Amino acid sequence: MPSYIAFDEKVPKCGQVVVDRMRHKAKYSIFDVKRIIGKEFQEITIDLLWPFKVLNNQNQVLIEHENTNGKETKSPEEITSVLLNHIKKACEAYQSQKISEVVIAIPSEFSEAQKRATKSAVEYVGVETIHFIPEPIAAAFAYFSEMDIPNQSNILICDSVNCVIL
């Protein structure tokens, strides 16, 4: 699911529906929060194409966006929690049971502050147990879940920062 959130109705929308509506309703949309969450304001590279603003409010990073009532500010953790809550509800509906434990794939270059901020976003959703896994490892699991791997195989996973042999 694309990590896009739109605040143009009472209930925020998430995912592909937001991407599909970007041409006409971009001003209500937020994306790239993973590039912002857990960072100090001076560490954030502002993209001039973002339809939202990143603000430094007393050393706290906030995101200002439009909604149906005007402008609103939220922390990156709050915005991430909206997306995670949407995913959690979809998973709970699919599995017909409550989810209390999750595995979250995060970029391998995430700092401890970014991991803590992501953990806070997950806690907003009401998850009790949180496990982190680097995105390259998660991608390898997803890729190899659909194919047979011969015994005694080595898998080399590289991203822009690390290489790992499984």
Tens digits of residue pLDDT in 18-47: 999 999 989 999 999 999 999 999 999 999
Task: Say which residue the tokens 């595995």 belong to.
Answer: 103
Q: Are residues 67 and 100 in the same domain?
A: no
115: phi then psi, degrees, rounded to nearest 5: -65, -45
Is residue 83 a part of any domain in this protein?
Answer: no
How does pLDDT run along the chain (166 residues), one tens digit per residue?
A: 889 999 988 899 999 999 999 999 899 999 999 999 999 999 999 999 999 999 999 889 999 999 988 999 999 999 999 999 999 999 999 999 999 999 999 988 899 999 999 999 999 999 989 999 988 888 888 887 888 877 877 777 776 666 666 6
Overall number of domains in the chain: 2
Residues 64 and 19 grouped into a single domain? yes
Question: For tokens 């953790």, what's the residue?
Answer: 77
What confidence score (pLDDT) does residue 139 get?
83
Is 129 contained in some domain? yes
The structure's pTM equals 0.85
Residue given tokens 């690390």 in the structure block = 162
Contact in structure between 6 and 16 (CB atoms under 8 Å): no
Residue range of the domain that includes 141: 95-158
Could you tell me if 139 and 108 lie in one domain?
yes
Q: Is residue 86 part of a domain?
A: no
Which alpha helices (DSSP H) does the chain contain, by range?
Answer: 16-20, 22-25, 76-95, 112-124, 135-144
Is 84 a member of any domain?
Answer: no
Q: Residues of 1-37 as b/e, b for ≥16 C-beta within 10 angstroms? A: eebbbbbbeeebbbbeebeebeeebbebbbbbbbbbb
Residues 9 and 73 in one domain: yes
Same domain as 105, residue 73: no
pLDDT at 13: 94
Of the candidates 73, 49, 48, which has an alpha carbon nearest to the alpha carbon of residue 61? 73
Query: How many of the other CB atoms lie within 10 Å of CB of 132?
Result: 15
CA-to-CA distance for 86 and 126, rounded, in angstroms?
12
